[in-house]
Amino acid sequence: MATTTRRRAAPKPVPRPRDESSVERLHLALRERAMRYVFRPGARINEQALGRELGVSRAPLREALNRLVAEGLLDFVMNKGFFRKEISVDEVYDLYQVRIALECRAVSLAIQRASDEEIRAVRDYWSGVMAHSAAMSSADLLLADEEFHRRLTALARNKELSAFMDVVSRRTHMARHIDIQQSAWNAKAFDAHAEVLDLIGQRRKEEAVACITGHIDMSLQRAVEITKEMVAEFFLVGSVLPS
């Protein structure tokens, strides 16, 4: 009786795991370019040229670009590709309104949830920044300011609220970068940081909310003016703000 020899099937190739850390590094590098308008507003992003420049393949590049779309820094148009979102005065205005709502809620929750030690830790952080502020560049001051607001929001102990705040901060980064170069404005704005922390520590909700509202509302007015200047610089047409 003839013996049938079965051919052993070739093993299936093991899929290579995605290197999440490399995608994240790429995402952060491209985010930095987008936030600083290295990608010109309204311009299409040349994926092939960008991939060659960075030495990355299409898949991780697209994933990083799609993350920037989700964060509101880029637009994606079907059959056309990725574009740097255009500068919009209306959008900056709306983002600052969202920021006011988020930080007011964060302050209210911080008064309910944050311990005295947690509030003191944020105060100590900011006192340390101010002690060295004279020697800090505007870029470093901006990062310190963003970190202050990140820590302030974290006092609310609400991860979703903090996540939304991070998105708003990234999308208003450039206007704030220009704003923070105005030294006279900085002194007044930075004093408000200590004041709102004192009010939170004293559990004075209405006054704390009014303080953070006034602080961000002044930032809003500056951001709108700066955005109008940026619109003119990039030869774009600004839109009319609501009255």
Residue 73: pLDDT band with limits 50, 70, 90: confident
What is the pTM for the complete model shown?
A: 0.73
CATH 1.20.120.530 fits 89-233, yes or no: yes
Phi-psi region of 235 (alpha: psi -120 to 50; beta: other; left: phi over 0): left
* Identity at 66, one-letter amino acid code: N
Would you kindly state where each structural domain of the chain is located, as residue ranges? 22-84, 89-233
- From residue 7, give the alpha-carbon distance in Å to each of 1, 4, 10, 11, 101: 19, 10, 9, 12, 67
Residue 12: pLDDT band with limits 50, 70, 90: low
Sequence-distant (≥ 6) Cβ neighbours of residue 175 within 8 angstroms: 92, 222, 223, 226, 227, 230
Instruction: Report the CATH number of the 22-84 domain.
Output: 1.10.10.10
Q: What is the pLDDT of residues 79-128, one digit of tens each?
A: 999 999 888 889 889 999 999 999 999 999 999 999 999 999 999 999 99
